[in-house]
Amino acid sequence: MIGGPIYDRVALIGLGHIASSMFWAMKRRGLVGHVSGYARSDETRETARRIGLCDTVCDSLEDAVTGADLIVLAVPVGAMGPVAEAIAPYLKSGATVTDVGSVKKDVIAKVAPHIPDNVHFIPGHPMAGTEHSGPESGFATLFDNRWCLLVPLEGSDPEALEQLRRFWEGLGAHVDEMDADHHDLVLAVVSHTPHLIAYTMVGVADDLRRVTENEVIKYSATGFRDFTRIAASDPTMWRDVFLTNKEATLEILGRFTEELFALQRAIRKGDGAHLHDYFTRTRAIRRGIIEAGQDTEAPDFGRVKVER
């Protein structure tokens, strides 16, 4: 149980899917006294005000971060450096800055130089989300039973790190720590390359004129449907992910290509034993994910709309 607020004031910079879910989760558990928010778009700020997202929606970065104990950078990874530079003069001494980006090495390189010596910078990454985006897509249970990876820098303050850990646990997440290089490699395997493959498969269907658009839509209640769900994710976010996690993504893409060629060879030669063995091993991974509570065998993978 949470025994009162973990932070008095939290500032959310960026009011999309993750930040919105964080706000509703904070309020559900009473983790924070006051939440301010800022988004670059006038339209996004007005939407946030309309739905009651944040206690105060600010029209400037300065107003949003002034006096905040925790500042969460929830913008595309390509924008984090400029945002960190813009907020640096207004950060409270002793405050913690964190982020929710799915790339860590590049974010650290771009953000850390702008963080004042009297402010803690502890990068983070909640391993949760849907293909939806925008302030209206968030919901309080998004982080329940999911993982949040913290990537503390050398010399990180233990008390600030523990406080951030308790905050994420209060949002419903399990918390683990990882160094930046390993984080980016792991994410290239479990997230970045699968998204790239999904985008590619949907693009192939679009280019393959022998399959009409009507057939693609009509018969998509098969594996293709799940590719389209992943490929519906925010294009700006994913553009920045691939441009900032080049090395790890290219490494895993190379391994994927080797595996694909091996399967292609087995199909061409009619090597059913190889295919059966391969699919048996990969099926076991799926079962492990379900047993770990990270997905469900329910219809549509249990993905039903969750009310805030």
Write out the chain's pLDDT in tens, 308 residues.
455 799 999 999 999 999 999 999 999 999 999 999 999 999 999 999 999 999 999 999 999 999 999 999 999 999 999 999 999 999 999 999 999 999 999 999 999 999 999 999 999 999 988 778 899 999 999 999 999 999 999 999 999 999 999 999 999 999 999 999 999 998 888 888 888 888 887 777 766 655 566 666 666 666 777 777 777 777 888 888 888 888 888 888 898 899 989 999 999 999 999 999 988 888 887 777 667 676 666 555 444 444 55
| 304 vs 120: CA distance, rounded Å | 38
The residue behind tokens 């893409």 is 253
Q: Are 124 and 98 in contact (CB under 8 A)?
A: yes
Backbone angles phi, psi at 145, to 5 degrees: 65, 15
Burial class (CB in 10 A: 0-12, 13-18, 19+), 210: exposed
On whether the pTM is more than 0.85, the answer is no
Element (H, E) at 11: strand 7-13
What residue segments make up the domains of the chain, in order of their start? 7-178, 182-295
Token pair, residue 217, equals 């839509």
Q: Does domain 7-178 fall into CATH 3.40.50.720?
A: yes
Token pair, residue 278, equals 């391969």
**DSSP sequence for 38-56:** E-S-HHHHHHHHHHT-SSE
| 198 vs 181: CA distance, rounded Å | 24
| Tens digits of residue pLDDT in 266-292 | 999 999 999 999 888 888 877 776 676
| Tens digits of residue pLDDT in 290-305 | 676 766 665 554 444 4
Domain boundaries 182-295, corresponding CATH code = 1.10.3660.10
Q: Is 273 helix (H, G, I), strand (E, B) or coil?
A: helix
Element (H, E) at 171: none
Say how many CA atoms lie within 13 Å of 43 toward its Cβ.
2
